[in-house]
Amino acid sequence: MMNKYVIGGNWKMNLGITQSISTAEEMIKKLKNVKNTEIFIAPSYTSLVDLGELFKGTNIHLAAQNMSEYDSGAYTGEVSAGMIKSTGSTYVIIGHSERRTLFGENNSVLSRKAHLAIEAGLKVIFCCGEVLPERETGKHFEVVRKQLSEGIFDFNAMATEDIVIAYEPVWAIGTGLTATPDQAQEMHSYIRSLIEKKYGKKVSDAMSILYGGSCKPSNAAEIFAKPDVDGGLIGGASLTVEDFCAIVDSV
Ligand code: PGA
């Protein structure tokens, strides 16, 4: 059974193999005594194998940032769920807003990915979140509801361990703007209510719902203190060992 509290670092397209290894080595040392929080790091594809070796036997899990919507075959440049699993990855991030907006991934593509990932034995970190005009016009709840219902609500049953949800308001990603703790709580509790309606209270109570978007040591504790916020998905601040460790410590 995994910890309900989860902190993940999404390194995006940063850090080559050498830097990934040295950053990971430092994190392993600094975080080795953390017991109450599930930690994962998502490096680029090219560092998965090396970090998979490094993280073996440690309390840090490996995650991929993306995966193919296809199983195998003639899909030049793609990486399948099974290949990711074979690197020692526990998790795969699906539906990050950068994948949705810059690479045109829609909810039906993301749903296919979620199914393939779980079939391959990976846990899915499923991202959702609205863009600024959607929040400004009061559509944010509806947008997130649609992303979840079209992305992960077509499973017959859901094992809580299979999915972690990351709410990442797109206007807060990499911008320095964060949702206020109350804005995060409001959306997280709404997300939990949707999960409960679809998969039942047992699943929704146990589900980890992470906040992401300009999380840093100075604001993490306040956001994580909210009852429906179960940790965070950290972009920029996860590239700095000190900042990432401070965020893990603020759970
Ligand atoms: P950020 O990114 O922490 O740099 O805002 C978060 C994310 O995109 O997961």
Range of the domain at 198: 5-66+85-249
Inside any domain, residue 225: yes
List b or e across 171-205, with b for residues whose CB sees 16 or more CB atoms inside 10 angstroms.
Answer: bbbeeeebbebebbbbbbeebbebbeebbeeebbe
pLDDT digits (tens, 9 = 90+) for 149-171: 999 998 887 777 899 999 999 99
CA distances from 2 to 36, 39, 109, 124, 171 (A): 10, 10, 27, 13, 30
CA of 233 to the centre of ligand 1 (A): 7
Instruction: Give me the number of domains the chain comprises.
Output: 1
pTM score, whole prediction: 0.96
H or E segment and range at residue 234? strand 231-234
Inside any domain, residue 74: no
pLDDT digits (tens, 9 = 90+) for 13-46: 999 999 999 999 999 999 999 999 999 999 999 9
Residue 140 annotated as catalytic:
no
Give every residue of the chain whose pLDDT is below 70, as ranges: 1-2
For residue 105, the domain's CATH number is 3.20.20.70
DSSP per-residue string spanning 72-125:
SSS-TT---HHHHHHTT--EEEE--HHHHHHS---HHHHHHHHHHHHHTTPEEE
Spatial distance between the Cα atoms of 120 and 109, rounded to a whole number of angstroms = 17
Ligand 1 binding pocket mutation candidate from 165, 173, 211 (most atoms within 8 A of CB): 173
H or E segment and range at residue 126? strand 123-128
Residue 168 annotated as catalytic:
yes
173 lines ligand 1 (CB under 6 A): yes
Ligand 1 binding pocket mutation candidate from 10, 126, 218 (most atoms within 8 A of CB): 10
Inside any domain, residue 91: yes
Residue nearest atom 1 in ligand 1 by C-alpha distance: 235
Inside any domain, residue 218: yes
